[in-house]
Chains A and B, each alone.
Chain A
Amino acid sequence: MNKVSDLVLEVVRELGSDQENKALVNADLETPLFGRNLDSMGIVFLVTDLEARISEEWDLAITLADERAMSQNTSPFRSVKTLTQYTQTLLDEAKTSA
């Protein structure tokens, strides 16, 4: 586990608590997201919460929801693991260009 996966898991679990979704409250890296535990409205909540937390934590602005996210071979919103990987990629890029 690294800092990004910890943060993603924290945000997913908090959202699970808000949505009264046990699978998300007890989420681990393999927990599915879109299509199983979240609809597209839930993805808005997850993305906006995660972007805000990343901004607080690293003072970096990243965009998790855009055409690029949709063009990935594996959707970032498939599971906690894919979201963590995509978030890490965007953060690494943002740190490099900062």
Chain B
Amino acid sequence: MKTVTIDMPKFGQVVLKNYTHLSHEALLAVLKMRNHPDVRKKMFDHDPITESEHFHFINRLSKRTDTEHFLVLYQDKILGAINVTDADEQAQSAYVGMFSNLESTHPMAAFILENALIYYGFDQRQFTALIAEVLEENKNVIALHQRFGFRPAPTDTNGVVRLVLSNVIEKNKGSHG
């Protein structure tokens, strides 16, 4: 999907723009966000991303049907990005991730990004489970996911915490949206 508009009960409209349909300038803004040192250190690969690697990555995304990355806008401001990767249509589950635009001065950015991720996964894509894998030293990110109902699940990968959220959208619509 090119652009998805989500209507959140507590925040109103949030716009998700697929990376594969962004302008060159917008993609450079995405690269800048991806390369922020505080974003990189939370990723599995800490190395800065070159412009060439970034555009190859975008190019590869356009050929995949199981993976989507979105820029998240609220009131025309970029709050960050969310992604749904390795979607398993049979298992109705997908891996999810997010990062903030660290130049954003919006106090609700993390609230809105996490809600956008959950609503897109459950409401739009109808997954029954969302899986987040986070480096174990990223205690705040783990705690953030847990505040929204993600629960730890077993994993064989050392240094990684796996968290799973089952579809609770109807039950929690009033509390998190």
Contact = CB atoms under 8 A, between A and B. Distances in A.
Interface of A: 34-35, 39-45, 47-48, 63, 65-67, 69-70, 75, 77
B10 A44 contact: no
Contact of B108 (A35, A45, A48, A70): A70
A69 B114 CA distance: 18
A39 to B, nearest CB: 8
Q: Which 8 A-B pairs have the closest CB atoms?
A: A40-B109, A66-B10, A40-B110, A34-B107, A41-B110, A77-B107, A44-B110, A43-B107
A41 B140 contact: yes
Contact of B147 (A40, A44, A75): A44
Contacts of B110: 39-41, 43-44
Interface string B32-68: 0000000000000000000000000000000000000
A57 to B, nearest CB: 18
Contacts of B109: 40
Interface stretch (B89-97, B98-106, B125-133, B154-162): B98-106
A44 B12 contact: no
B143 interface: yes
Given A40-B110, A41-B141, A44-B114, 11 more contacts: A41-B100, A41-B144, A43-B107, A43-B108, A44-B111, A44-B147, A45-B143, A48-B147, A65-B108, A66-B11, A70-B107
Interface string B104-126: 11111111001000000000000
A44 B10 CA distance: 14
Interface of B: 10-12, 100, 104-111, 114, 140-141, 143-144, 147
A40 B106 contact: yes
A34 to B, nearest CB: 4
A37 to B, nearest CB: 12
Given A45-B143, A45-B147, A40 B10 contact: no
Contact of A40 (B11, B107, B143): B107
A85 to B, nearest CB: 16
Contacts of B140: 41-42
Nearest to A70: B108
A77 B105 CA distance: 12
A40 B12 contact: no
